[in-house]
Copies of this chain bind each other. A is one copy, B any other.
Amino acid sequence: MFEGVIEKIRKAEKVAIFNHESPDGDALGSAYALKLIINALGKQAEVFLRQGDERTREYKLIKGTEPLGLKVEDCDLKIAVDCADFDRLGEMKECFSGNTAAIDHHVTHKEFAEATLVVPDAPATGEIIFDVAEKLGIEMNQDIASNIYLAIICDTGNFKYSSTTSKTHQVAAKLMEKGIDIANLSKQVFDTKSIEYLRAYKMGIDSLELFSNGKIAILAITEKDFEEMGVDEVLIDGIVDLPRSVEGVEVGVYLRERTEGFKISLRSNGDVDVAQVAVVFGGGGHKKAGGCLIKDSLENAKKKLVEEIEKQLR
């Protein structure tokens, strides 16, 4: 499974690394870990981000982001990490041709590279990058370990999600031997909140409504609310978990108003399959997380959602 990609890396001289649009911690940590791993082999490598990709909190925690002056057109190998399909490369699609490879953990991965390494059991692409480092025989150092650790905690909610495996902890054990500042990483990623986020959270608590004997919680934020808060929606996206976090709630719903309608995120505690609900409204997802768009009044949207969720509760 690893051979094709490992072979390409061994043969390459200069490697260009890409990840998916709006890269999260796993996409960033995996890409920069791979850059440093390839550097450790004595080869040149660079991660090519889209403009604006470096404005996230996760990016600031990444090691090895200093540019090395390498240009995409000079690279003889292109590797896409944590990218489930070609389109998710965004504006980097045009650079991704010639000698190509992909390293990913998405079960939905659609092959688009010459050599593909997909491990769907890995909760994060970072865990696969750890194995790539071992196969290449490089010695793990603190910066590589820190990037892989960041990638893993971002995609497992700091070892909380059910996708976490025994192997994930084995990898974390080996990474920690390199002396990572885990308390700082987890604090920055999970336990640091902007004043804007806290204000939105407060408003979220105010707007929380419970239905079906407290089994359904709905949080709705209208365009007017966003204006009053003066906050960008992406800055408060963690609020999607608030409704489900209420004791006794089985399905949490987060509605926010868009010009095209209400964008709906559904989160289940595990027993209710919210994808079944999302599908009714033309959306999709999986058992624990789904999404859809409803073009209707806020009241009607809530009413219809509660009706459909109740069918699944029974």
Residues of A within 8 A of B (CB): 157-162, 164-170, 172-174, 176-177, 181-184, 186-187, 190-195, 198-199, 201-202, 205-206, 208, 241, 245-247, 269-270
Contacts and interface: CB of A to CB of B under 8 A. Distances in A.
B247 A183 contact: no
A157 B205 CA distance: 24
6 closest A-B pairs by beta carbon, nearest first, are: A169-B173, A162-B183, A166-B176, A160-B186, A169-B172, A169-B169
Contact of A170 (B169, B186, B193, B245): B169
B160 A167 contact: no
B193 A246 contact: yes
A241 to B, nearest CB: 7
A162 B184 CA distance: 8
A163 B310 CA distance: 44
Contacts of A241: 191
A184 B270 contact: yes
Contacts of A160: 158, 182-183, 186-187, 190-191
A173 B167 contact: yes
A105 to B, nearest CB: 18
Given A169-B176, A173-B173, A183-B270, A198 B158 contact: no
A159 B171 CA distance: 14
Contacts of A165: 176
